[in-house]
Amino acid sequence: MGEGDGAGFQPPQKQEQEQWMERALTMAKEALENGEVPVGCLMVYRNEILGQGRNEVNETKNATRHAEMVAIDQVLKWCHQKGRDRKEVFEHTVLYVTVEPCIMCAAALRLLNIPLVVYGCQNERFGGCGSVLNISQDDLLYTGTPFQCLGGYRAEEAVELLKTFYKAENPNAPKSKARKKH
């Protein structure tokens, strides 16, 4: 694999993983309360949160502004401000997210050489880590490096949050106050 295989990356201890996932789940719940897509997402570099995104599709009118992409931009910004080598940073950054990244985000994570993604429930509609395609592991020479996935952390809760959100999203369903902006 040569350089870019995250040499020297040690996956965090299980207990540490659970702490960050707990936090991601809390973020997802907060998002739901604010009428946003209930996805919690954290990018953690050497025990420090460098990015925590939430879905910004509606505000930006850009359908690619998923939580992961927003968090990635925060990490990039951090690297820029601190004058850090972004390659080194991403190669030691773990993504904690309540829902399996979609195909687009999985490809983006590969392009940045992120070594590990810990996620909650599967993403049946768009999942890029096995559900629809397996971008995380496929043989793609020109699309960064494959990454490891640990799925299933409190998956039922994560699914339940999404279901609640999409029920409100459905125009045929009774309008929920939570969906209204402001």
Q: Which residues bind other proteins (CB under 8 A)?
A: 56, 59-65, 69, 72-73, 76, 80, 86, 102-104, 106-108, 111-112, 125-126, 128, 132-133, 135, 138, 140-143
**In the chain, count of helices (H) and strands (E)?**
6, 5
Is 66 near Zn ion (CB under 5 A)? yes
Strand arrangement of the beta sheet that strand 48-51 belongs to: 48-51, 41-45, 93-99, 116-121, 148-150
Question: Which of Zn ion, other proteins, none sits in contact with 5, Cβ below 5 to 8 A by type?
Answer: none
Q: Are 122 and 130 in contact (CB under 8 A)?
A: yes
DSSP H helical segments within the chain, as ranges?
A: 14-33, 57-60, 67-82, 86-90, 103-111, 155-169
Q: Which amino acid is present at 173?
A: A
Q: Look at phi and psi of residue 144 and say left if phi exceeds 0, alpha if psi is from -120 to 50, else beta.
A: left
Quote the least distance from Cβ 81 to Zn ion, whole Å: 25
Is 105 near Zn ion (CB under 5 A)? yes
> Which range, of 41-49, 77-85, 104-112, 159-167, touches Zn ion by CB under 5 A?
104-112
Among 27, 102, 116, 161, binds Zn ion (CB under 5 A): 102
Is 54 near Zn ion (CB under 5 A)? no
In the complex with other proteins, which residue's Cβ is closer, 143 or 148? 143
DSSP H helical segments within 34-154, as ranges?
A: 57-60, 67-82, 86-90, 103-111
Q: Is residue 68 annotated as part of the catalytic site, yes or no?
A: yes
How many residues line the site for Zn ion (CB under 5 A)? 4
Beta partners for residue 93, in sequence order: 45
**Among the options 68, 100, 156, 169, which is catalytic?**
68
Quote the least distance from Cβ 15 to other proteins, whole Å: 32
> Which range, of 10-18, 23-31, 38-46, 99-107, touches Zn ion by CB under 5 A?
99-107
List phi, psi (to 5°) of 83.
65, 35
Enumerate the active-site residues: 68
